[in-house]
Amino acid sequence: RRNEINVTKYSTTPPDSDPTGRRQVHSMLKLYYGMNEEGKVESLDPCDINGPHFDPEVYLNKLRKECSLGELMDHESCTVKQIRSLDSDMQTLVYENYNKFISATDTIRKMKNDFKKMEDEMDCLSANMAAITEFSAHISGTLQDQHAQITKLSGVHTLLRKLQFLFELPARLNKCLELQAYAQAVSAHRRARCVLQQYSHMPSFRGIQDDCHVIMEQLAQQLRQKFRDGGSSAKDLSECVELLLQLDEPAEELCDKFLSHAQSRLEADLQGLEAELIDSLVTDTGGGLVQKTNPGSNPVSPSSSSTTNPFLSPTAGTDILEFIDRGCNEFVSNLCLVIASYQELFINHPQEGELASKKIPEMANGKLHVFVDTLAARYFSLVERRIQEEKGVGDNSLLVRALDRFHRRLQAISKLLPGSAVPSQGTEIVVRAARERIKQYLSALQTFYHDSLTDVRQALAAPRLSVGGASASGGGATSKDATPSLPELLTSLSNFILNQLKSVLASVHLFTAKDITFSNKPYFKGEFCSQGVREGLVVSFIKFICQSSRQYCESAGDRGGSTPPALLLLLSRLCLDYETSTISYILTLTDEQFLVQHHTPVTPVTALCAEAREAAQKLLNHYVKVQGLIISQMLRKSVETRDWVNTIEPRNVRAVMKRVVEDTTSIDVQVGLLYEEGVRKAHSSDSSKRTFSVYSSSRQQIRYAPSYTPSAPMDTSLLSNIHKLFSERIDIFSPVEFNKVSVLTGIIKISLKTFLECVRLRTFGRYGLQQIQVDCHYLQMYLWRFVSDENLVHFLLDEIVGSAAHRCLDPSPMEQSVIEVICERG
């Protein structure tokens, strides 16, 4: 009907205004939907006959201007046609609307009649309703009494049910007890407890209460028993504890019990560990030894027979990783479990009502800390003992992995127990172990160094014997094939030490590997690298080498050269090599591997180099001294044991002089193997042929002649003193330079000076003097080539012959030519 009305309303509007009205509706809709722009464009054209801004004048003018007459005519006819059709449309619409209007009027009239009828019916209804209300009031009045009775009865019923619960409670509790449904029992008791308490003055209730008490006591007893037995699982236990707490059991006691119970289990773990520790100790001592490295071909490999080799890994019953594993899996994880369940029970458990006021968490926490600390301390002591047994330094990775695991597992405790000191103590242990490890490595390196030296010594012992025999045919070079030569020994020793050091560094480096949990602790980032590895290991080892080298000089000197001279020479070269390159190489290597971020002062490379150089110098000096003394000893004996007064006319150079030259030659070869030639002063063209004898040289004739003529006793030593005034003082046992010539010069100086001193203690006959002349000439022929300044040899030999002449009872020197003939023949 409403539609109809709408239609009529539209239909009432004049038809010519219809397009505009519809357009308005349209435009409003468009406006609503946001599409108004299109309409605007459309509407702007005044010539659009359907547009809103249509201007007939403009349109007409436009047509007139633009169109031809024919077109205008067509247009006109078209327009007329359109107007006509529009007119007819409009008429139809007017008719339709009229009809609708009439039918609407009819309908309204009909409605008026219907409403009147309905009004009567409504009046009747209201009368009926009033009657119903009256009846209902009546009924409820009659039912009132019965209702109150029923309510009372239902209340009694509830109470009776409660009472029944109470009366049945002891039985029920008993049943629960039988069925071990403790939780049910406790909750039941809890419900009844207050009531029983309230009505305990009534005998019947009192009886129930007492019964309950007895039963609950029994129950608590059972719970405690269960708690104590400890066979139950953690879950059971926790349930147990919870129930006991609800039964007003003192929390402190429970904590203690719980902990002591846990302790007994953890103790068992610890005892297992301890037993293993003792086992491994027993097996360790009896265990076989496995050699880790076997550089068989190397001449200075540590002797395989050596049982003290620290690079052997002990094949113990269990290795440390297994041990720590066991410790972690059994003890630490159990401890964690205990901590977790304990915390669950006593600390994190939400406490309700009266329990909350007892401050259980604080108390429990305190107990837990003490508990954990004591047990952890024991555990740590075991672990430390085990770590201390880890003496073999062969494979470090096992230890590091074990420590890592140890450390990692302790982190769990730190998560569980935030305030605990245990993890930091664990870190302490790891740090201590690392420190200890470094010390062990150092001592292992030292032992290794000693062993290597012993091997070198043994290797040297063989060629030294053959040098003695073969020196006549060209010194030590001939024995090269049979045994390793000095340079080979040196390089192999040096390489061997370096490799060992490198492998130790690699082992130690494991401590700082990225995947190791404790490697990012401040100790391992800083102090371990700088103080531990660099200072404690590398620098100490280098210092040790220098120091042990120096000891060779000090101890061996008095006890008659227990150190073979070749070893001294070799060590000296080793130290020198260390000074020039090896030390800085090792330290650079160390610094690279262990990026030192610590700012503590470290030993500078230069200080170490200086120390190494000092050691090298000392060794070389000592070498010169030892070799010099060996030759001196020969010369001394040869001078002291001979009767120089009654000797026969010299026909030969004495064998000892030949021996001296031979030995010097072999020393020359030996030193030449390790040290550079060095600088010497230019030789005069006829060095070996120099007419050395004091008696044939005109200048020296002046010098010595007066001493044989009694007329001028005062001039005896004058010229020789003048000569000495202008020549430099010769230091006999003076430091030498690091080259062959300097070493040989030192040795020859010592030998000739000894010769001189010995000659001065003797008295000579004529032939004794001549023998000395021959000997000195022979030495002159061969020794000049070894020294830096041949004048030195000349000077000392002059002195010897001069002194012999002084000490001669009948000084008549031998002819120079004869001396030369004898020397060349010998």
Residues near other proteins, by CB under 8 A: 557-560, 629, 645-646, 707-708, 710, 713-714, 716-717, 720-721, 724-725, 729, 731-734, 753, 757, 760, 763, 765, 806-809
Say which DSSP state 290 is in. E
* C-beta closer to other proteins: residue 56 or 710: 710
With contact defined as beta carbons under 8 Å apart, do 630 and 753 qualify?
A: no
* C-beta closer to other proteins: residue 407 or 618: 618
Separation CA 214–CA 177 (nearest Å): 12
* C-beta closer to other proteins: residue 145 or 558: 558
CB of 796 to other proteins, least distance (A): 12
Separation CA 278–CA 386 (nearest Å): 9
CB of 644 to other proteins, least distance (A): 9
Would the CA dihedral through 314, 320, 321, 325 be positive or negative?
positive
* C-beta closer to other proteins: residue 644 or 675: 644
With contact defined as beta carbons under 8 Å apart, do 779 and 657 qualify?
A: yes
Structure tokens, 561: 């050269």
Half-sphere exposure of 604 (CA within 13 A, CB side): 3
Residue given tokens 């990225």 in the structure block: 514
Separation CA 771–CA 189 (nearest Å): 129
Residue given tokens 């040790």 in the structure block: 544
Structure tokens, 506: 């690699």
Number of Cβ within a 10 Å radius of residue 546: 25
* Three-state secondary structure call for residue 808: strand
CB of 758 to other proteins, least distance (A): 10
CB of 619 to other proteins, least distance (A): 16
| Helix, strand, coil fractions of the chain, as percent rounded to 5 | 75, 0, 20
Structure tokens, 252: 């402190």
CB of 563 to other proteins, least distance (A): 13
* C-beta closer to other proteins: residue 165 or 733: 733
CB of 791 to other proteins, least distance (A): 17
Sequence-separated (6 or more) residues with CB below 8 Å from residue 62: 47
- Taking each helix axis from N to C end, the angle separating 605-640 and 740-760, rounded to the nearest 10 degrees, works out to 30
Number of Cβ within a 10 Å radius of residue 759: 25
* C-beta closer to other proteins: residue 657 or 758: 758
Separation CA 148–CA 134 (nearest Å): 23
Say which DSSP state 51 is in. S
CB of 545 to other proteins, least distance (A): 23
> Position 118: which residue type?
M
* C-beta closer to other proteins: residue 386 or 807: 807
* C-beta closer to other proteins: residue 643 or 677: 643
Structure tokens, 811: 């000084």
With contact defined as beta carbons under 8 Å apart, do 783 and 635 qualify?
A: no
Structure tokens, 683: 């030789």
CB of 612 to other proteins, least distance (A): 22
CB of 763 to other proteins, least distance (A): 5
Say which DSSP state 480 is in. G
Give exposure, 340-361, as e/b (b: 16+ Cβ within 10 Å).
Answer: ebbbebbbebebeeeeeeeebb
CB of 794 to other proteins, least distance (A): 18
Structure tokens, 653: 């150079």
* C-beta closer to other proteins: residue 50 or 721: 721
CB of 694 to other proteins, least distance (A): 16
The 3 state secondary structure assigned to 659-726 is HHHHHHHHHHHHHHHHCCCCCCCCCCCCCCCCCCCCCCCHHHHHHHHHHHCCCCHHHCCHHHHHHHHH
CB of 311 to other proteins, least distance (A): 36
CB of 811 to other proteins, least distance (A): 9
* C-beta closer to other proteins: residue 378 or 724: 724
* C-beta closer to other proteins: residue 59 or 708: 708
* C-beta closer to other proteins: residue 507 or 617: 617
**DSSP string across 104-172:** HHHHHHHHHHHHHHHHHHHHHHHHHHHHHHHHHHHHHHHHHHHHHHHHHHHHHHHHHHHHHHHHHHHHH
CB of 576 to other proteins, least distance (A): 23
Sequence-separated (6 or more) residues with CB below 8 Å from residue 506: none
Sequence-separated (6 or more) residues with CB below 8 Å from residue 294: 301, 304
* C-beta closer to other proteins: residue 605 or 645: 645
* C-beta closer to other proteins: residue 471 or 638: 638
* C-beta closer to other proteins: residue 210 or 643: 643
With contact defined as beta carbons under 8 Å apart, do 573 and 676 qualify?
A: no
Structure tokens, 543: 């210092």
* C-beta closer to other proteins: residue 302 or 811: 811
CB of 608 to other proteins, least distance (A): 26
CB of 721 to other proteins, least distance (A): 6
